[in-house]
Amino acid sequence: MVGIAAFGVHVPTYRLAREVIAQATGGRVTGGERAVANYDEDALTMGVDASLECMDNYMRAWGTSLDGSTLGGLLFCSTSSPYREKQAVSILSSVLEVDPSALIVDLNGSLRGGLTGIKVGSNLLKQSSVESKTLIIAADRRSSAPGSLEEQAFGDGAVALLLGQGDVLVTVEEHFAINANFPHFWRRENDAYVQAGDTRFVENMGYLPLMTEAIDSLLKKANIASSDVAKLILHTPNARLARRLARRLGFNPETQLADTLFDKIGDTGTAQVFLSLIGVLAEARPGENLVVAGYGDGAEAILLRISENIHRVEECRGLGVHLGQKLPLENYAKYLHFRDVTGESSYDAFSSLPLLWREENQNLRMYGAQCQKCGMIHFPWRRICHKCGVKDQMDAFKLKRQGEIYTYTNDYLYVNPDPPQSLAVIDLEGGGRFFGQVTDVNPQELHIGLKVELSFRKIHDGQGLPNYFWKARPAIGRE
Q: Which of 101, 135, 139 is nearest to 118 (CA)?
A: 135
Cross-sheet strand order for the sheet of 2-10: 103-108, 71-78, 133-140, 157-165, 2-10, 170-179, 298-306, 289-295, 231-234
Domain positions in the chain are 2-338, 353-474
Q: Are 260 and 234 in contact (CB under 8 A)?
A: yes
- 479 — pLDDT class (breaks 50, 70, 90): very low
Architecture of domain 353-474: Beta Barrel (2.40)
How crowded is residue 188: how many other Cβ atoms within 10 Å of its Cβ? 6
- CATH number for the domain formed by residue range(s) 2-338: 3.40.47.10
Q: Specify the pLDDT at position 350.
A: 81
Which helix (H) or strand (E) segment holds residue 471: the answer is strand 465-474
pLDDT > 50? residue 432: yes
Which helix (H) or strand (E) segment holds residue 453: the answer is strand 451-462
In angstroms, rounded to a whole number, what is the distance separating the alpha carbons of residues 274 and 288? 17
What tens digit of pLDDT does each residue of 251-265 get? 999 999 999 999 999
What tens digit of pLDDT does each residue of 290-338 get? 999 999 999 999 999 999 999 999 999 999 999 999 999 988 999 998 9
Measured torsion, CA atoms of residues 412, 414, 418, 422, in degrees rounded to the nearest 10: -70
- Distance of alpha carbon 207 from its chain centroid, rounded? 25
Half-sphere exposure for 347 (CA within 13 Å, toward CB): 9
What tens digit of pLDDT does each residue of 385-396 get? 999 999 999 999
pLDDT > 70? residue 410: yes
Q: How far is CA 153 from CA 35, 234, 327, in A?
A: 10, 15, 19
pTM: 0.95
**E strand spans, 337-420:** 367-371, 377-378, 394-398, 402-411
In angstroms, rounded to a whole number, what is the distance separating the alpha carbons of residues 188 and 49? 28
In angstroms, rounded to a whole number, what is the distance separating the alpha carbons of residues 443 and 423? 10
Measured torsion, CA atoms of residues 101, 103, 108, 114, in degrees rounded to the nearest 10: -140
In angstroms, rounded to a whole number, what is the distance separating the alpha carbons of residues 75 and 106? 6
For residues 321-359, one letter each, b for 16 or more C-beta atoms within 10 angstroms of the residue's C-beta and e for the rest, the string is: ebbeebbebeebebbebbbeeeebeeeeeeeeeeeeeee
Q: Specify the pLDDT at position 341.
A: 85
pLDDT > 90? residue 461: no
Measured in degrees and rounded to the nearest 5, phi and psi for residue 58 equal -60, -40
Classify the phi-psi angles of 129: left when phi > 0, otherwise alpha if psi is within -120 to 50, otherwise beta. beta
CA angle (97, 103, 105) in 5-degree steps: 90
Half-sphere exposure for 296 (CA within 13 Å, toward CB): 23
In angstroms, rounded to a whole number, what is the distance separating the alpha carbons of residues 39 and 344? 8
In angstroms, rounded to a whole number, what is the distance separating the alpha carbons of residues 87 and 98? 15
Q: Which amino acid is at 278?
A: I
CA dihedral sign of residues 384, 358, 472, 346: positive
**E strand spans, 307-450:** 327-328, 367-371, 377-378, 394-398, 402-411, 421-428, 433-438
Task: Look up residue 35 and give its DSSP letter.
Answer: E
Which segment of 339-343, 379-383, 473-477 scores lowest on mean pLDDT? 339-343
Half-sphere exposure for 20 (CA within 13 Å, toward CB): 16
What tens digit of pLDDT does each residue of 200-216 get? 999 999 999 999 999 99
Measured torsion, CA atoms of residues 219, 225, 227, 230, in degrees rounded to the nearest 10: -30
Q: Are 64 and 58 in contact (CB under 8 A)?
A: yes
CA angle (335, 341, 346) in 5-degree steps: 100
Q: Specify the pLDDT at position 417.
A: 86
Measured in degrees and rounded to the nearest 5, phi and psi for residue 271 equal -85, -15
Is cis: bond before 420, omega within 30 of 0?
Answer: yes
What mean pLDDT, rounded, does the chain reach? 94
